[in-house]
Each structure stands twice: as structure tokens, then as C-alpha cells.
């Protein structure tokens, strides 16, 4: 495997981040570096990064800008972007290596809800897989790619939401962007909090609004106001 940098944007999610960093330390193959870009500039987050030997980088709270800041200091040939609340499969690095050996410029993992699961998860997961085939896989699916392909595709947009959309489109134009048959486990807490179908409908409404020209900044404000009303 070429050298690997893991980049994790975080914002007030220290407990989940600590669990993820512990998982990374116990993988069969280890990355060259782990970069945590902290949108809250939290001392707690900084201490957790020191504990797990990760690079801590303070940033303003905008996921697209956080990811760009992480890439700017990354030293490896391959980039892997993870959300702080992800749970990893047993050997994800080997799965990425095999995809790159087959000539892919990058790819993404299969979306699978983590426990505790509810019955809607079994309906939503195949629907999300189908949507990713014809649409955009989002950042919670562990997007990975060579750094060269990342730069050629234009990188992340400096947006608070949908920052990966132009990147994935650019990667697909430049080469094969592979869907792995290996799951990355997505925290279901937001679906549990909002309601499984309500959350799914809201996600689709935001995606449609973005597709029809509403700015990511406007959508981020709407999202924050929605959260405070729950």
C-alpha cells in the first residue's frame, strides 16, 4: 500500500473520535499519519489526539475548509477521509489497496448502519447503495483516493455541506471511482433522534435543494435551525 494519510474533520464529537482513533491504532496495517481537523479548537480534542498520536489541527467550523486544511499538510500518496463517528471494518486498508492496484483512482465503502439498528435500516441501505451508483456517495462512506487524483479533480469545495460533490464528479471524470463491497459503519444516532423516515426525507430534500441551486451556506443554516427545533 502506498503511504496513507487519514483526515478526520471533527466538531464537538470527542467521545466518538476517541473510539475511532483507538480502532485505527489496532488495524492490521497502520497509516503513515492521522490528521484531525478540529472545527471547535477544543482542548479536549487536542488531548485525545495527543493520546492517540494523531496530528491536531484547529480550524474554523466548516467541513469543506477543515478537509482542505487537512489535505494541505498531508504527506502521503493516498488520502482517506473519515467522519469522527465512523466505525471501521476489520481491514479497510487492504480493501483500498486492492482497489488502487486494479487501477482505480479512489473509491468509497458500502454504507451500513451501526448498532443499534432498526428495521428501516434494512430498506435504506440498498436504496443508498443504488443512489451511490448513479449519484454521489457522501463523506460518511469513507471516501479515499490518490492525492494526485484529488488535486486533479479540484479537491473539496470550501462549503459546510455537500463539499464532496464536485470532488466525486471530478474523480469519476478522471478515472474509475470504485464502490467497495466492504462496509463502513455509520452512526445511526441522527436517524434515531429525528426519526428514520423523517431524517431520510430531510436528507433528500436538502440534496434536491442543493441540486436546484440553493447554496450550501443557506442549507447549513436551515439544518441548524431544524436541529434546534427538535
Stretch 73-79: mean pLDDT = 98
- Give the pLDDT band (50/70/90) at residue 123: very high
Q: Please choose, from the candidates 69, 21, 80, the residue with its C-alpha nearest in 3D space to the C-alpha of residue 48.
A: 21
Q: Which residue has the cell 483507538?
A: 22
By three-state DSSP, how is residue 181 classified? Answer: strand
- Number of folded domains in the chain? 1
195: pLDDT confidence band, cut at 50, 70 and 90? very high
- Backbone φ/ψ region at 179: left (φ over 0), alpha (ψ -120 to 50), beta: beta
Q: Does residue 31 belong to any structural domain of this protein?
A: yes
Query: Is residue 75 included in any domain, yes or no?
Result: yes
Mean pLDDT of all residues in 84-105: 97
In a domain, 160, yes or no: yes
Judge whether 197 lies within some domain.
no
Assign 228 a pLDDT band (cuts: 50, 70, 90). Answer: low
> Does the pLDDT of residue 179 top 80, yes or no?
yes
Residue 215 in domain: no
Q: Is residue 229's pLDDT more than 60? A: no
Using the predicted structure, report yes or no on whether residue 230 has a pLDDT greater than 60: no
Does the pLDDT of residue 44 top 90, yes or no? yes
What is the per-residue pLDDT for 143? Answer: 98
Task: Count the Cβ atoms, other than its own, within 10 Å of residue 169.
Answer: 14
Cα–chain center distance at 42: 20
Q: Report if residue 196 sits inside a domain.
A: no
**Which segments of the chain does DSSP mark as H helices, in order?**
14-25, 43-51, 63-73, 92-101, 120-134, 147-153, 165-174, 189-194, 196-211, 216-229
Whether 229 is covered by a domain: the verdict is no
Kindly report the CATH number assigned to the domain that includes residue 153.
3.90.550.10
| DSSP H or E segment with residue 82 | none
Q: Is the pLDDT of residue 227 over 70?
A: no
- The residue segments making up the domain with residue 76 are 4-117+136-187
Say whether pLDDT at 81 is over 60: yes
Amino acid at each position: 500500500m502506498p503511504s496513507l494519510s487519514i483526515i478526520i474533520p471533527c466538531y464537538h464529537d470527542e467521545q466518538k473520535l476517541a473510539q475511532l482513533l483507538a480502532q485505527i491504532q489496532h488495524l492490521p496495517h497502520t497509516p503513515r499519519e492521522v490528521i484531525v481537523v478540529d472545527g471547535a479548537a477544543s482542548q479536549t480534542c487536542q488531548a485525545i489526539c495527543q493520546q492517540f498520536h494523531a496530528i491536531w489541527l484547529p480550524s474554523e467550523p466548516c467541513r469543506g475548509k477543515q478537509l482542505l486544511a487537512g489535505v494541505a499538510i498531508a504527506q502521503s500518496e493516498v488520502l482517506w477521509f473519515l467522519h469522527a463517528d465512523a466505525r471501521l471494518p476489520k481491514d479497510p486498508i487492504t480493501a483500498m489497496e486492492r482497489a488502487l492496484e486494479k487501477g482505480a483512482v479512489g473509491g468509497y465503502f458500502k454504507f451500513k448502519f451501526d448498532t443499534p439498528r432498526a428495521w428501516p435500516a434494512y430498506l435504506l441501505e440498498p436504496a443508498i447503495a443504488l443512489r451511490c451508483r448513479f449519484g454521489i456517495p457522501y463523506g460518511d462512506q469513507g471516501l479515499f483516493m490518490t492525492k494526485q487524483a484529488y488535486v486533479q479533480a479540484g479537491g473539496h469545495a470550501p462549503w459546510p455541506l455537500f463539499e464532496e460533490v464536485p470532488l466525486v464528479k471530478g474523480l469519476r471524470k478522471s478515472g474509475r471511482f470504485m464502490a467497495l463491497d466492504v462496509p463502513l459503519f455509520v452512526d445511526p444516532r441522527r436517524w434515531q433522534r429525528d426519526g428514520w423516515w423523517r431524517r431520510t426525507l430531510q436528507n433528500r430534500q436538502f440534496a434536491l435543494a442543493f441540486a436546484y441551486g440553493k447554496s450550501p451556506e443557506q442549507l447549513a443554516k436551515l439544518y441548524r435551525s431544524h436541529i434546534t427545533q427538535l
